[in-house]
Structure 1
Amino acid sequence: MSDVRMPMPTVRVTRYEVSCLPADHHHAADFTVTVECDEQGRWMVRRGAQVLSVEGVWAPEPSPFQRTVEWERSHLFTEEKAVRLARVTVPNLRAGDRTADAVLAGADS
């Protein structure tokens, strides 16, 4: 028998989902953003292929090789700041002409 001991597993959070709708709601995906960690420990707010800037503007995410220093400064954050931006942004999301408020009020037909 070997004396090699298995190290204790570690747990690292790399993604959050932020939404004003319950996860099981049939329109939840339309009103949900993710806050995700990259390989360097920086966080971004995503909605599909779009990434949120510090100014609150959604833009397509460039490949890691196409990112400029300016892009990184305005789209990559600390975990705390990215979660805060997501929480402020989510109540204002629209899917077509609908808002989460309207969907929750039953105007989602």
Structure 2
Amino acid sequence: MNTTDSALPEPNAQATRYEVSLLPPGDINHHLFTLHVEWRGDDRWAVIRHGWCLGSNGKWDYERVPSEREDEWLSWHRFDLDTALALAKRHAPNVTVNGRTAVEVWQRTHAAVSAAAAAEEAAQ
């Protein structure tokens, strides 16, 4: 097959997953406090964390296998991309691991650094 054939279509590239976290990507705990916004087809997106799916009511529900997902369940757990990202950003600060929220972890590891940087900048 000739890969330089001008009749070939342009290869498709599509983002199918976003990471949303209060902690920056370089933080050692970033992966623990991350929500994922994942494409589920038909321009519908889900907010996911460890197999749990965020509903429009703000509650987490275990993501069922496709054959068990009824239309009503899908209507509560699938969103357009903007809504899914907004929900993930709203819930990211409250992600809890071992009794600590993302806010608490950020405050312990990044707030002091941010305050020190701000103080240093103000002193200059």
Q: Same fold (TM over 0.5)?
A: yes
| Structure 1, unaligned runs of 5 or more | none
1:41-86 CA-to-partner distances (Å, cap 9, x unmatched) read 3100000110000011111100011001110010011111111110
The structure carrying a bigger strand percent of its residues is: 1
What's the TM-score, normalizing by structure 1?
Answer: 0.87
Say which structure is richer in helix: 2
Cα distance in structure 2, aligned partners of 1:54 and 1:27: 27
CA distance in 1, matches of 2:68, 2:42: 16
Would you say the 8 A contact 2:22–2:106 is kept in 1? Answer: no
One-letter amino acid of the counterpart of residue 13, structure 1: A
1:1-109 to 2 correspondences below 5 Å: 5-106=7-108
The TM-score normalised by the length of structure 2 is 0.77
Name the CA distance, whole Å, in 1 between partners of 2:107 and 2:90.
Answer: 21
Q: Which runs of 5+ in 2 are unaligned?
A: 110-124
Q: Matched residues in 1 for 2:39 and 2:80: separation?
A: 9
Q: What RMSD, in angstroms, separates the aligned Cα atoms of the two structures?
A: 1.9
Which structure has more RCO (C-alpha within 8 Å, separation ≥ 6)? Answer: 1
Letter of the structure 2 residue corresponding to residue 71 of structure 1: W
Runs of 4+ in structure 1 deviating by more than 3 angstroms, as ranges, are none
Does the 8 Å contact 2:54/2:61 carry over to 1?
yes
Q: How many residues align?
A: 107
